[in-house]
Amino acid sequence: MEEKVTGDIDLTVKPKRNIGKRMWKERYLYILLIPGLLYFIIYRYVPMAGNIIAFQDYSAFQGFLHSEWVGLKHFKTIFEDQEVIRVLWNTLYLSFLQIVFAFPVSIILAIMLNEVRSNVYKRIVQSIVYLPHFLSWVVVIGIVTILLKSNGIVNKLLESLFGMDPVPFLQDPNWFMPLVVLEVIWKESGWGTIIFLAALSGISPSLYEAAAVDGASRMQQIWHITLPALKSTIIILLILRLGSVLDVGFEQIYLMLTPFTMKVGNVLDTFVYLKGIQNSDFSFATAVGLFKSFVGLILIVGANRLAKRFGDQGVY
């Protein structure tokens, strides 16, 4: 993201007295810049500073300035509170499940699409599998609710085909994580193929032709040509995914949570919401949020370093 040479006359690195002159010359650009800049300061950076309430016992009546300072009290609580530890575990466990089960689906789907010879068919399938990405989580979970209810189509079929009693998919804690992962697969795996397909489009067709002449089967071609070509993309995306291991999606989890599944399903983001907004425990919830942001920062910077080591550029 280095500066680019634009059409401007170069005025950089001149004596200080020129700064005023330069700002005057660029005054119209500043008019364009300032509304956005104010937005970033007020709604992105002031809240960052607002994290100081994590070191206070904030009370709305006393405000930022007069609330009692308590140092690291809330951060100590994070590691002592059984609930937080369970929530942290749920978050990591869900991330793990998503990496193991959802992540490979995009790769496989991309390879399958890449093998289709009819461009028309390929494009139709692509159009269909990208679509769920643009639906809201409310709609996706609304659909899931309708299909999995006790009188929904899945339970009706289980009853008529196997004579089973209705399965309480949405209330049973054992079904919570599998459902969340399946929803992610349904909604995002098609969209996730885009970046792999781009990597695949760079493979020279002559490689496949040579392999075919040598008698390689299609599966062998995938194994020896396609997969190696995807290797660096896979590694980099995997590393970056590890960088956001604490982000598992607020809306989806919140919409899926019920009193029955709270124990297995509550993750860091939903915990912060329930604790902070619904229980008005502002300071403690902020401390948990800040802890998450901070760990996230370390992980993502680390992940990006690691990704760059693999010979490609990182995300920023």
Partner 1 sequence: MLKSNKLSDKVFDYTNIILLGLIALTMLFPFYYMFAVSFATYEEFVKTDLLLFPKTWVLDAYEYILGSKEFIRSLGVTIYVTVVGTLVSLLLTAMMAYALSRNILGQKIYVFMVLFTFVFGAGMIPTYMVVQGTGLMDSLWALIIPGAISSFNLIVMREFFIGLPIDLTEAAIIDGANDLQIFSKIILPLSKPALAAFGLFYAVGIWNSYFTALLYLSDPAKWTVQVVLRQLVILNKSNLLDVGMQAGMDNPPPAETVGMAAILIATIPILIVYPFLQKHFAKGVMLGSVKE
Phi/psi region, residue 311 (left: phi>0; alpha: psi -120 to 50; beta: rest), is left
Question: What distance in Å separates the CA atoms of residue 261 and residue 143, rounded to the nearest whole number?
Answer: 19
Retrieve residue 13's tokens: 């690195």
For the CA atoms of the chain, what is the radius of gyration?
26
143 binds partner 1 (CB under 8 A): yes
Stretch that binds partner 1, among 28-36, 69-77, 80-88, 173-181 (CB under 8 A): 28-36
Of residues 283 through 302, those in contact with partner 1 by CB under 8 A are: 285-286, 289-290, 292-293, 296-297, 300-301
Residues 190-249 contacting partner 1, CB under 8 A: 190, 194-195, 198, 205, 208-209, 212-213, 217-219
Of 72, 100, 135, 227, the one binding partner 1 (CB under 8 A) is 135
Q: For residues 194 and 238, which CB has a smaller minimum distance to partner 1 in the complex?
A: 194
By CB under 8 A, the residues from 238 to 257 that bind partner 1 are 250-251, 254-255
User: Quick one: 109 or 245, whose CB is closer to partner 1?
Assistant: 109
Residues 69-108 that bind partner 1 (CB under 8 A): none
Tell me if 136 contacts partner 1 by CB under 8 A.
Answer: yes
**Where does this chain touch partner 1 (CB under 8 A) — which range of 2-10, 72-80, 92-100, 173-181?**
2-10
Task: State the residue for tokens 């969209």.
Answer: 191
Distance of alpha carbon 240 from alpha carbon 245, whole angstroms:
9
Rounded to whole angstroms, how far apart are CA atoms 244 and 278? 26
160 scored as a contact of partner 1 (CB under 8 A): yes
How many CB atoms neighbour CB 44 within 10 A?
Answer: 9
For residue 56, the SS3 value is strand
Closer CB to partner 1, 174 or 220, in the complex: 220
Start-to-end C-alpha separation, the chain: 7
